[in-house]
Amino acid sequence: MDHELDLTADGATLTAALTDIASVSGDEKPLADAIERVLSALPHLSVHRRGNTVLAQTGLGRKERVVLAGHIDTVPHADNFPSSFNSERSRLTGCGTTDMKSGVAVQLRLAAEMTAPARDVTYVFYECEEVAAEDNGLYLLSRSAPELLAADFAVLLEPTGGVVEGGCQGTLRASVTASGARAHTARSWMGRNAIHEAGAILDVLRAWQPRTPVVDGLRYHEGLNAVAIGGGVAGNVVPDSCVVTVNYRYAPDTSEAEAADYIRSLFAPWEVSMLDNAPGARPGLSEPVAAAFVAAVGGTPRAKLGWTDVARFAELGIPAVNYGPGIPELAHTPGEYVEVAAIADCENRLRAWLSA
């Protein structure tokens, strides 16, 4: 089914429409199609597509070019699809409302309305942010067509509660494998139970204490979690393998390599395999172009705890910040929602900045 988006609707109505086009990572095509179709109809934009990543640019020959970027995928639904407004229509609940279809709605509204912004703008709508780094649409674009991303400054509309968030933490996933020896469970003492052994891996996770370092004036907060566990051969067999997948969120004072070494040493008794590792970015708010944006939209910047693609822009040498209408604490929770007023507020502040 082809979905039609109405970019003249207010930001909350548009957020609801975007939320109700399911786009769990890997299944973004229907939403990417709808975005490509609606933007291609606008004469002031040139539109490009790579996979399910859509990019639209003004070409006014302005002195500065800025990027407004957002991912269009969500985590799997958790009985929170489709979206619903509360009775006062002050709040929209549903999978992706906060992370980050409200931000995508703001991008689309500005893209349609700002036919002649004071700065040239590149709008990026990309796929697969919620899954492995190598599938990330912005990463793929930065490798296949970095010229399309060229800019002086970038804003990611990730959920920040309307506050400028600086930098981001790195994220690393690794598998930690406990080994054992198979045996019939009627004679379990002939084998070694790998799932029982994995209890010692979980002990490490349960005892772990997070660091909360201050980097360039902003306080970060690390995290280390099991995100998957699996083991078992048959209902009467002592299992010989149990795999725990861990996700380490590390502050931007730690490099990719240091984070990997730390995880290997923490789980030294077991076999550790790195699955993916995306470094963070220091906040960099002292850069003039970043400072100017902060001054324009107002508020006191804080540290971004989630990994976001500001790290990709950092790699490309483009200063970048997070600034969006969603509520970061609610991302990936079943009760995820966004405040309707925050969507319009974010849109208005960005419009003012782009017009000035």
| Eight-class DSSP state of 168 | B
Of the pair 63, 187, the CB lying nearest its own copies is at 187
Residues 6+ apart with CB under 8 A from 122: 55, 56, 57, 58, 65, 66, 67, 68, 148, 149, 151
Residues 6+ apart with CB under 8 A from 227: 173, 245, 246, 247
**Residues 197, 236: Cα–Cα separation, whole Å:** 18
Of the pair 107, 193, the CB lying nearest its own copies is at 193
Q: How far is the CB of 256 from its own copies (least distance, A)?
A: 17
**Residues 214, 283: Cα–Cα separation, whole Å:** 11
User: Cβ distance 265 to 215 under 8 Å?
Assistant: no
Active-site residue, from 36, 120, 129, 130: 129
Residue 83, Ramachandran bin (φ over 0: left; ψ between -120 and 50: alpha; else beta): beta
Of the pair 70, 117, the CB lying nearest its own copies is at 70
| Beta bridge partners of residue 241, listed in sequence order | 179
- Residue 197 falls in the annotated catalytic set: no
User: Cβ distance 33 to 63 under 8 Å?
Assistant: no
How far is the CA of 104 from the CAs of 31, 54, 107, in angstroms? 11, 12, 5
Residues that bind its own copies (CB under 8 A): 75-76, 78, 99, 130-132, 169, 171, 173, 182-191, 193, 195-196, 198-199, 202-203, 205-206, 221, 223-239, 242, 244-245, 247, 249, 275, 305-307, 328-329, 331-334
- The sign of the dihedral angle between the CA atoms of 8, 13, 15, 20 is negative
Structure tokens at 206: 């349960």
Q: How far is the CB of 289 from its own copies (least distance, A)?
A: 26
Q: How far is the CB of 317 from its own copies (least distance, A)?
A: 25
- Residue 152 falls in the annotated catalytic set: no
Of the pair 69, 330, the CB lying nearest its own copies is at 330
The helix/strand/coil state of 238 is strand
**Residues 10, 15: Cα–Cα separation, whole Å:** 9
Residue that the structure tokens 């990572």 belong to: 25
**Residues 116, 93: Cα–Cα separation, whole Å:** 34
The helix/strand/coil state of 137 is helix
Of the pair 118, 229, the CB lying nearest its own copies is at 229
Q: How far is the CB of 250 from its own copies (least distance, A)?
A: 11
Q: How far is the CB of 147 from its own copies (least distance, A)?
A: 30
Q: How far is the CB of 202 from its own copies (least distance, A)?
A: 3
Of the pair 11, 170, the CB lying nearest its own copies is at 170
Active-site residue, from 73, 197, 222, 240: 73
The helix/strand/coil state of 114 is coil
Of the pair 87, 236, the CB lying nearest its own copies is at 236
Q: How far is the CB of 151 from its own copies (least distance, A)?
A: 25
Phi, psi of 346 (to 5 degrees): -60, -45
Active-site residues, by number, are 73, 129
